[in-house]
C-alpha cells in the first residue's frame, strides 16, 4: 500500500514539474500568437540545423510545439510518406521508391535546400609531403580494388615516402561514408574494407592526430573544431585545387565533396499557419544558424529564391 | 599396506591440488577486480568529463544548439515518465504471469510451450521490440509516438526478465511455509498473497529493479517507436511526445563541438543517478519487507 502511495506521489511530482515548463514558456514574450504542433523527423545530420531553428522559433512563437526525431533520412521519409510528420529532414534527395510511397498515400511535397555539408580530407600535421589530392588519387586509395594492394604512400605518387598509409573513415552505416564513396569511388557504399572505421568521428580525429602516416575523411565541422590537430588537404577537381571552407563550399567550387542538406514540406501541412511561419523562419535564419552548428550556408539569393518558391507552393495548396 | 612411496605420491597430489585451489582463488579475485576496476575507471572518467558541467540550470534547461545553454530537462522528465509508466505496467503484469505459471498452470504441453517462449523472449534483441511496438502500439492501437507507447514497448522488453526472476524467487520459498499456511486453513490465494509473495519479495524486487535499470538505458527501441531528439516541453500526460536521456546522450556524442561531449558526460551522470536512486529505493523496500516477514 505504502509503495503505491509512494509511486503516486512520485508521479504527481513529475506531472507538476511538467506543468512548470509549459508555464515558463508561456510567460516568455511572444511576437506571434500561433499555437499547434509541428512534427519533424529524419536525418540526424540535418538535425542540428533544424534544432537550432526550432530553438530560435521558440522565442518568436512560444506556443508552437516543434518536435524533432532522428530516425535517419530513410526512416524519416517512411513516416513522411504516411503523413505522420509535417516536415522531413534529409541528407540526400528523396528516392524513387520513397516518391512512389508518397504518391500512393496522396502526399505531395516541396523540396528545399537548407545548408551545405562539406567533407574534409585530412592528414597528420607532421605530414609535409601532401599538398593536394586529385579525385583519381583518392579513388585509387579508397576503391574496393585497393584493398591489400595500395598500402604505401609512394604507390600514389612516387616522390612520396616509402611508408605505410593508414586510413581512417566513418563506419559503413553513416551517411557521410555513403556520400564519400559515391562522390569518389562512383558507387555509394563501395570501398576497401581495410581501414579504421568508427561511427564516432571524435575517434577518427584522435586517430589521425596521433599517426604521422594517416589519411582520413569526415565532416568539415569536425575539422573546424580540431584545426590545431589536423591538416586539411585540398582536392584537385580537374581545373584547380580547392580546400573546403565557408566560401568554397557555399559558392560550389569545392566539388564533389560537398552536399546539400534538405527539408521536405508536406503540402497539406502548409494549410496551418504555424508550419508556413516556421518554414519561412527556417529559410530566413538557416544561413546564420547553420554556421553555428558547423555547416555551411547557401548563398543568400538561393535562400531568397526558395522563400519565393515556398510561398508560391503555399498559395497553390491552401 | 601403504608403502612410503605411495604416501609420498598421495602427499604430492594433495599439494598439487592445494596449489590449484590457490591458483583458482587468485584467478577468481582477478576476475572480480577486472569488472570492478573497469567500472571505477568508467565512472571516474565520466565524472572528470562531466561533473563540472552539472548545475541547476543543466537540469532545468531545454535543448539548445549552444552546449553551454543546453539542458536535460525534457529528456530527464521523459525518462522518469517512462520509468514510472513501465513500472506500473510491467510489475503487476509480470508478477501475475509468474504466479500463474508457478502456482496455477498445470504442467503440460501448453505450459511447456509458454515457458519456452518466455525464455526465448528474454533473448530477443531490443530493436525487434521497437519494431513490434511501432506496429502494435503506435499504429494499430493508435497511441502515436507517445510516452505510453514507449513504456508499453519497454514493458514487453522487460516482462520476460521479471517473470523469470519472480518464478525463481517463488520457487525458493520453503515448502514448510506453504504447508503451514494450508494447515491453518488458508486458501490458495491467501497463501500466495500473505505468505509466498512477502517471502519472495526480495528476489522479485531485485528482478524488477534490474530489468527497469535496463529499460531506462534503452535507446534503440525507443528511437524506432518514435521517441524524439528535440522536444521543448516535458510530457504532461501519457499520450504526449517525449525524449529520453539515452537519446539525448547519443545525440550529443555525435556532435562535433567539444562542449557537447561534456554535456553528454554530465547527462550520463544524471542517468546514473536516476538508476542509483531507483536501486536505493528498491533496496530500502526489500529490506523493510524482508524484516516484516521474518
Tens of pLDDT along A284-303? 999 999 998 989 999 999 99
Interface of B with A in 177-206 (CB under 8 A): none
Per-residue pLDDT, B294: 59
The better pLDDT of the pair A175, B19 is held by B19
Structural domain boundaries in chain A = 32-116+260-317, 118-258
Residue B226 pLDDT exceeds 80: yes
Sign for the pseudo-dihedral over CA of A243, A246, A248, A252: positive
Per-residue pLDDT, B179: 92
Query: Phi and psi (nearest 5°) for B251?
Result: -65, -45
Residue A11 pLDDT exceeds 60: no
Confidence band for B123, pLDDT divided at 50, 70 and 90: confident
Separation in Å, CA of A112 to nearest CA in chain B: 21
Nearest CA in chain A to B258: A225
Contact B232 A66 (CB under 8 A): yes
Residue B202 pLDDT exceeds 80: yes
Residue A20 pLDDT exceeds 80: no
* Euclidean distance between CA atoms A282 and A55, whole angstroms: 11
Domain A32-116+260-317 homologous superfamily, CATH: Periplasmic binding protein-like II (3.40.190.10)
Per-residue pLDDT, A110: 95
Mutation target among B78, B197, B226 for the A interface, most CBs of A within 10 A: B226
Per-residue pLDDT, A19: 41
**Chain A partners within 8 Å of B145 (Cβ):** 69
B235 in contact with chain A, both atoms CB, cutoff 8 A: yes
Nearest to A18 among B236, B254, B285 (CB): B236
Contact B64 A292 (CB under 8 A): no
Task: Give the DSSP letter string of chain B.
Answer: ---HHHHHHHHHHHHHHHHHHHHHHHHHHHHHHHHHHHHHHHHHHHHHHHGGG-SHHHHHPPP-SSTTT---HHHHHHHHHHHHHHHHHHHHHHHHHHHIIIIISPSSHHHHHHHHHHHHHTTS-HHHHHHHHIIIIIIIS---S-HHHHHHHHHHHHHHHHHHHHHHHHHTS-HHHHHHHHHTT--HHHHIIIIIHHHHHHHHHHHHHHHHHHHHT--HHHHHHT--SB-SS--SSTTS----HHHHHHHHHT-SSHHHHHHHHHHHHHHHHHHHHHHHHHHHHHHHHHHHH-
Per-residue pLDDT, B263: 93
Interface of A with B in 116-175 (CB under 8 A): none
Contact B145 A292 (CB under 8 A): no
Confidence band for A33, pLDDT divided at 50, 70 and 90: confident
Contact A18 B235 (CB under 8 A): yes
* CATH architecture for segment(s) B57-293: Orthogonal Bundle (1.10)
Nearest to A68 among B84, B229, B258 (CB): B229
Contact A70 B223 (CB under 8 A): yes
Nearest CA in chain A to B221: A71
- Comparing CA positions, the residue from A233, A291, A235, A280 lying closest to residue A117 is A291
Mean pLDDT of A120-144: 91
Nearest CA in chain A to B289: A3
Mean pLDDT of A158-184: 88
Contact B233 A22 (CB under 8 A): yes
Q: Kindly provide the ipTM of the predicted complex, given to two decimals.
A: 0.78
Per-residue pLDDT, B72: 93
A105 in contact with chain B, both atoms CB, cutoff 8 A: no
Question: Scanning the structure block, which residue is given the C-alpha cell 562535433?
Answer: B256
Q: Rank A233-237, B72-76, B290-294 by mean pLDDT and report only the highest.
A: B72-76
Burial class (CB within 10 angstroms; exposed 0-12, middle 13-18, buried 19+) of A196: middle
* Euclidean distance between CA atoms A171 and B168, whole angstroms: 42
Per-residue pLDDT, B121: 85
What is the percent of chain A with per-residue pLDDT over 70, rounded to a whole number?
Answer: 90
B230 in contact with chain A, both atoms CB, cutoff 8 A: yes
**Chain B partners within 8 Å of A14 (Cβ):** 77, 80-81, 84, 234
pLDDT digits (tens, 9 = 90+) for A76-101: 999 999 999 999 999 888 999 999 99
Confidence band for A31, pLDDT divided at 50, 70 and 90: low
* CATH architecture for segment(s) A118-258: 3-Layer(aba) Sandwich (3.40)
Contact B230 A66 (CB under 8 A): yes
**Chain A partners within 8 Å of B229 (Cβ):** 44, 47, 51, 68-70
Nearest CA in chain B to A295: B256
**Chain A partners within 8 Å of B223 (Cβ):** 69-71
Structural domain boundaries in chain B = 4-53, 57-293
**Chain B partners within 8 Å of A50 (Cβ):** 230
Mean pLDDT of A252-270: 91
Rounded to two decimals, the pTM is 0.81
Task: Give the DSSP letter string of B222-238.
Answer: HHHHT--SB-SS--SST
- How many residue pairs bridge chain A and chain B with CB atoms within 8 Å of each other? 107
Mean pLDDT of chain A: 86
**Chain A partners within 8 Å of B226 (Cβ):** 41, 69, 71, 79
Contact B257 A19 (CB under 8 A): no
Contact B261 A202 (CB under 8 A): yes
Mean pLDDT of chain B: 89
Contact criterion met (CB below 8 Å) for B278 and B213:
yes
Mean pLDDT of B14-19: 91
What is the percent of chain B with per-residue pLDDT over 90, rounded to a whole number?
Answer: 49
Indicate the range of A228-232, B10-14, B105-109, B287-291 predicted with least confidence. B287-291
Residue A44 pLDDT exceeds 70: yes
Amino acid at each position: 500500500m505504502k509503495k503505491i502511495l509512494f509511486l503516486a506521489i512520485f508521479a504527481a511530482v513529475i506531472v507538476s514539474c511538467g506543468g512548470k515548463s509549459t508555464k515558463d514558456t508561456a510567460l516568455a514574450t511572444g511576437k506571434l500568437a500561433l499555437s499547434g504542433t509541428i512534427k519533424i523527423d529524419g536525418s540526424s545530420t540535418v538535425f542540428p540545423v533544424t534544432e537550432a531553428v526550432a530553438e530560435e522559433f521558440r522565442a518568436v512563437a512560444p506556443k508552437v510545439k516543434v518536435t524533432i526525431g532522428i530516425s535517419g533520412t530513410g526512416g524519416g521519409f517512411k513516416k513522411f510518406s504516411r503523413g505522420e510528420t509535417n516536415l522531413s529532414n534529409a541528407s540526400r534527395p528523396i528516392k524513387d521508391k520513397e516518391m512512389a510511397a508518397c504518391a500512393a498515400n496522396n502526399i505531395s511535397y516541396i523540396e528545399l535546400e537548407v545548408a551545405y555539408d562539406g567533407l574534409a580530407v585530412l592528414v597528420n600535421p607532421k605530414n609535409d609531403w601532401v599538398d593536394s589530392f586529385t579525385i583519381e588519387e583518392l579513388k585509387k586509395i579508397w576503391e574496393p580494388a585497393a584493398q591489400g594492394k595500395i598500402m604505401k604512400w609512394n604507390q600514389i605518387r612516387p616522390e612520396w615516402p616509402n611508408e605505410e598509409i593508414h586510413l581512417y573513415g566513418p563506419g559503413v552505416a553513416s551517411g557521410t561514408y555513403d556520400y564519400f564513396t559515391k562522390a569518389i569511388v562512383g558507387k555509394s557504399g563501395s570501398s576497401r574494407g581495410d581501414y579504421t572505421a568508427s561511427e564516432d568521428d571524435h575517434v577518427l580525429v584522435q586517430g589521425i592526430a596521433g599517426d604521422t602516416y594517416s589519411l582520413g575523411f569526415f565532416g568539415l565541422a569536425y575539422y573546424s573544431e580540431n584545426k590545431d590537430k589536423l591538416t586539411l588537404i585540398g582536392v584537385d577537381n580537374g581545373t584547380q585545387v580547392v580546400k573546403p571552407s565557408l566560401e568554397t563550399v557555399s559558392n560550389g567550387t569545392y566539388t564533389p565533396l560537398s552536399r546539400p542538406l534538405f527539408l521536405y514540406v508536406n503540402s497539406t501541412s502548409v494549410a496551418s499557419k504555424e508550419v508556413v511561419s516556421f518554414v519561412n523562419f527556417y529559410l530566413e535564419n538557416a544561413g546564420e544558424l547553420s554556421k553555428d552548428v558547423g555547416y555551411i550556408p547557401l548563398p543568400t539569393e538561393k535562400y531568397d529564391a526558395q522563400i519565393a518558391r515556398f510561398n508560391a507552393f503555399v498559395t497553390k495548396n491552401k | 599396506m601403504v608403502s612410503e612411496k605411495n604416501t609420498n605420491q598421495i602427499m604430492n597430489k594433495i599439494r598439487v591440488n592445494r596449489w590449484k585451489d590457490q591458483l583458482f582463488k587468485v584467478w577468481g579475485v582477478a576476475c572480480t577486480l577486472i569488472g570492478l576496476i573497469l567500472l571505477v575507471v568508467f565512472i571516474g572518467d565520466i565524472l572528470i568529463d562531466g561533473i563540472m558541467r552539472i548545475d541547476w540550470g543543466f537540469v532545468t534547461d531545454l535543448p539548445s544548439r549552444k552546449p553551454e545553454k543546453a539542458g536535460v530537462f525534457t529528456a530527464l522528465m521523459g525518462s522518469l515518465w517512462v520509468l514510472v509508466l513501465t513500472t506500473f505496467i510491467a510489475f503487476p503484469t509480470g508478477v501475475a504471469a509468474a504466479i500463474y505459471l508457478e502456482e496455477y498452470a498445470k504442467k503440460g504441453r501448453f505450459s511447456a510451450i509458454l515457458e519456452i517462449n518466455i525464455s526465448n523472449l528474454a533473448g530477443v534483441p531490443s530493436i525487434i521490440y521497437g519494431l513490434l511496438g511501432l506496429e502494435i502500439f503506435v499504429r494499430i492501437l493508435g497511441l502515436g509516438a507517445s510516452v505510453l507507447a514507449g513504456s508499453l514497448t519497454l514493458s514487453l522488453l522487460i516482462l520476460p526478465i521479471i517473470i523469470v526472476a519472480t518464478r525463481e524467487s517463488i520457487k525458493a520459498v520453503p515448502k514448510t511455509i506453504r504447508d503451514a499456511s494450508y494447515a491453518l486453513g488458508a486458501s490458495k490465494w491467501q497463501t500466495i498473497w500473505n505468505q509466498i509473495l512477502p517471502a519472495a519479495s526480495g528476489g522479485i524486487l531485485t528482478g524488477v529493479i534490474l530489468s527497469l535499470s535496463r529499460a531506462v538505458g534503452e535507446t534503440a527501441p525507443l528511437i524506432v517507436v518514435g521517441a524524439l531528439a528535440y522536444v521543448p516541453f516535458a510530457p504532461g500526460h501519457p499520450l504526449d511526445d517525449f525524449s529520453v536521456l539515452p537519446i539525448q546522450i547519443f545525440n550529443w556524442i555525435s556532435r562535433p563541438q567539444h562542449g557537447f561531449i561534456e554535456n553528454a558526460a554530465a547527462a550520463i551522470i544524471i542517468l546514473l543517478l536516476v538508476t542509483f536512486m531507483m536501486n536505493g529505493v528498491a533496496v530500502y523496500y526489500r529490506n523493510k519487507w524482508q524484516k516484516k516477514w521474518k
